[in-house]
Amino acid sequence: MTDKFISIEAIAKRYPGAAGGEIAVFENLWLSMQRGEFVWNMATYALRDAVNITSEEFAPAVDEFERAGLAKAPSRIVRPPRVARSPVQFECAYLQTVRLPGNSDAGTVDIVFGRVLAIHIDDAALTNGRIDIARLRPLARLGYFEYTAVGEVFEMRPPTSGALAAGMEGSAQKFQRAEAEGEH
Cα separation of 123 and 135, whole Å? 13
Summarised one tens digit per residue, pLDDT across range 22-75 is 444 444 555 566 688 989 999 999 999 999 998 887 787 888 899 999 999 999
- Is there a single domain that holds both residue 114 and residue 28? yes
- Is there a single domain that holds both residue 23 and residue 81? yes
Is there a domain that residue 147 lies in? no
**Best CA proximity match to 140, nearest among 150, 153, 132, 154:** 150
Q: What is the pTM of this model?
A: 0.77
Segment 143-167 mean pLDDT: 82
Cα separation of 63 and 69, whole Å? 10
Is there a domain that residue 116 lies in? yes
Is there a domain that residue 132 lies in? no
Summarised one tens digit per residue, pLDDT across range 92-104 is 999 888 888 878 7
Cα separation of 178 and 164, whole Å? 9
Is there a domain that residue 94 lies in? yes
- Which of the 8 DSSP states describes residue 81? P
Is there a domain that residue 134 lies in? no
Last residue of a domain, one of 122, 141, 175: 122
Q: What pLDDT does residue 144 have? A: 84
Give the H/E segment covering residue 23: strand 22-24
Share of the chain above pLDDT 70, in %: 73
Residue 142 confidence (pLDDT) above 80? yes
- Is there a single domain that holds both residue 12 and residue 54? yes
Is there a domain that residue 143 lies in? no
Q: Which residues are CB-neighbours of 81 under 8 A, at least 6 positions away?
A: 39, 65, 72, 73, 74, 75
- Is there a single domain that holds both residue 19 and residue 68? yes
Q: Decide which of 172 and 135 is more confident.
A: 135
**Confidence at 157, pLDDT banded by 50, 70, 90:** confident
- Is there a single domain that holds both residue 29 and residue 105? yes
Q: Decide which of 180 and 146 is more confident.
A: 146
**Best CA proximity match to 112, nearest among 50, 38, 53:** 38
- Is there a single domain that holds both residue 165 and residue 94? no
By residue range, what is the domain housing residue 178? 155-184
Cα separation of 51 and 86, whole Å? 11
Q: What pLDDT does residue 104 have? A: 75
Instruction: List the CATH number of the domain containing 104.
Output: 2.30.110.10
- Is there a single domain that holds both residue 83 and residue 172? no
Q: What pLDDT does residue 65 have? A: 92
Q: Decide which of 18 and 111 is more confident.
A: 111
Residue 124 confidence (pLDDT) above 50? yes
Residue 179 confidence (pLDDT) above 80? no
Number of domains in the chain: 2
- Is there a single domain that holds both residue 93 and residue 30? yes
Cα torsion angle, 164, 167, 8, 2, sign: negative
Q: List the end-to-end C-alpha distance of the chain, in Å, as a whole number.
A: 23
- Is there a single domain that holds both residue 161 and residue 84? no
Residue 12 confidence (pLDDT) above 60? no
- Is there a single domain that holds both residue 31 and residue 111? yes
Q: Decide which of 80 and 183 is more confident.
A: 80
